[in-house]
Amino acid sequence: MAKNRNLFISHSWAYGDAYEKLVRMLNNAPRFVYSNYSVPKHDPVHEAPNTQALYDAIKAKVRFCDVVLIMAGVYSTYSDWINKEITIAKTDFNKPLLAVKPWATKRVSTTVANAADEIAAWNSNSIVSAIRRLNP
């Protein structure tokens, strides 16, 4: 039986399509089982009364994760929340961080790449293999 991995997939809802495609890839990966601790669009966390409440809600989700995945598109460099999620993952919990290069992207965010323990290509084999290495 495959080991279940708890994943937090950081994403921007401005680029929600990439998140949905990534989740589909993980769902269809053979012999790979995971629990998704991400914040979906319909999650009440988005209705948090202030920035600190949202930060705390994300931190509570990351706490139980084995690996944090962050889309490594250049847009990530300019996201305050990506930076906060990197801080939560690396500083607060010392979680392994996997940067995922979006499909057909040549450039990646230096912010995400510098924080990542590993960078995976946009295909399920690359992503799942990296997750297994980061959480054997």
Instruction: Of 43-57, 99-113, 121-135, give the lowest mean pLDDT range.
Output: 43-57
Distance CA 10, CA 12 (A): 7
Q: What pLDDT digit, counting tens, does each position of 42-65 carry?
A: 665 656 778 888 889 889 999 999
Q: What pLDDT digit, counting tens, does each position of 76-89 carry?
A: 555 678 888 999 99
Write down all domains in the chain, each with its CATH number in brackets.
20-134 (3.40.50)
More confident position, 15 or 111: 111
Predicted pLDDT at 114:
94
Q: Are the C-beta atoms of residues 97 and 70 closer than 8 Å to each other?
A: yes
Per-residue confidence band for 16, with pLDDT thresholds at 50, 70 and 90: low
Length of the chain as a residue count: 136
Predicted pLDDT at 108:
84
Global confidence as pTM:
0.89
Residue 115 CB-density burial (10 A; 0-12 exposed, 13-18 middle, 19+ buried): buried
